[in-house]
Amino acid sequence: MSTKLMILPSQDANKTRLISIPDDYEPHEAFRKVTGLIAKVEETNPNYNWEDIISELEDCGFYQQEFQLGPVLD
């Protein structure tokens, strides 16, 4: 089975992240879950950083994946 992935984009390309989606999530469910988890971190910690977000995501089975950002296509 192939791994499902989600890009967490950023205006700063260096802050773009890639995470794996647990097998038991459909894409629309994963989108809602990740959105909710990020919002939870933002609400509970106004001084949050990426480590706070990924910790929350990992608790729910979403894991950061390494990737190489390629050239811009437009």
Tens of pLDDT, residue by residue over 9-62, are 999 989 999 999 999 999 999 999 999 999 999 999 999 999 999 999 999 999
- 34, 6 Cβ separation under 8 angstroms: yes
**What mean pLDDT comes out for the span 62-72?**
93
The answer on pLDDT for 70 being more than 70 is yes
Sequential DSSP letters for 12-53: SGGG-EEEEEPTT--HHHHHHHHHHHHHHHHHH-TT--HHHH
Residue 6 has pLDDT above 90, yes or no: yes
Determine the average pLDDT of the residues in 2-7: 90
0.85 exceeded by the pTM? Answer: yes
The most distant pair of C-alpha atoms in the chain lies apart, rounded to whole Å, by 38
